[in-house]
Structure 1
Amino acid sequence: MTREALETSHRTERETEAAPGGENPSGPEVPHQREATRKNAAAGSRVVDAYAASLGRPVMNGTRAKLERQAVELLAQGLPEAWLCDRAREMAGRGWMDMFRHVEMSKAPLAPPAPGRTRPGVPEWCGQCGDDNPAAARLNPRFRTLGELGTGEKCPRCHPDVVAR
């Protein structure tokens, strides 16, 4: 091949045209998903505001960004905003700055879940099992045990393996 032919082939390999008519090649736009993201972002900001109010001073930008990211992710997992605000106030009082860790270790009961918020086929959490981690037990059936995770028996009221029988 000549040098000119090589340059032409490289140029055509590298140059690709955009999708015709400005179409999104990854699929249609989903406005309801964007709206949910906006709502979670606003709620995440309110959770951090509760942290700042309890702290009694403004939160530094880096800490604010980290806590907002964590709050938005926890909200997307279905945890109630009011419950997260209470956990944020607790964190500020103790000088903590990791919402994931605090929520995971929290023993505070959750408000009853909104109807239809659990996955299909997973029974509603009974609210009495998962002593070591009630927040996780509500969202993850694996934690629905009586006693320590992995050593206790499956909850007869809400563990999917037992309820399904």
Structure 2
Amino acid sequence: MAAYAAALGRPVLNGTRAKLERQAVELLGQGLPEAWLCDRARELAVRGWADLVQHAERSTAPIEQLHEVPGTGRPGPPEWCGECGDGTGTAARLNPRFRKVGPEDARELCPRCHPDRVARATV
């Protein structure tokens, strides 16, 4: 729960960390995207809350378009196009947040494979 700890700005108590980690594993197992859950964890810390399941259930934040991860039967982000992410490959392939194009000072979400752009294009 690095996102929670970073937003909190101090070390997380062991009991709270264990609870949030268990809840994150449960929610990931239900197919919720990791990036979406990290955003919800940051919101928890800012609001002084510590129940990720309850917050996820009540959240009105949209969940990006999910695609099946080949061979797993589980949802995941769209497949990486291979053309974005500054040619870093690994980062953009594994984390859709790095799927951006353009010069450093004017980066935009990749229209071919960033979950937010793909989801808007299919709506």
Aligned residue in 2 for 1:104: 57
The reply to whether residue 73 of structure 1 matches residue 6 of structure 2 is no
More strand by share: 2
Q: What is the TM-score normalised by the length of structure 1?
A: 0.42
Spell out structure 1 runs of 4+ moving beyond 2 A: 115-118
Give me the whole-angstrom Cα distance separating, in 1, the residues matched to 2:59 and 2:52.
Answer: 10
Give me the whole-angstrom Cα distance separating, in 1, the residues matched to 2:4 and 2:64.
Answer: 20
Paired residues in the alignment total 71
* 1:26-75 CA-partner distances (Å, limit 9, x unpaired): xxxxxxxxxxxxxxxxxxxxxx1100000000100000000000000000
1:114 Cα deviation from its structure 2 partner: 1.6
CA RMSD of aligned residues (A): 1.2
* Correspondence 1:86-165 to 2 at 5 A: 86-115=39-68, 117=74
Q: What is the TM-score normalised by the length of structure 2?
A: 0.55
The structure whose RCO (Cα within 8 Å, separation 6+) is larger is 2
* Structure 2: runs of 5+ lacking an equivalent: 76-123
- Give the % identical residues: 70
2:67 aligned counterpart, secondary structure: coil
Bigger Rg over Cα: 1
1:117 Cα deviation from its structure 2 partner: 3.7
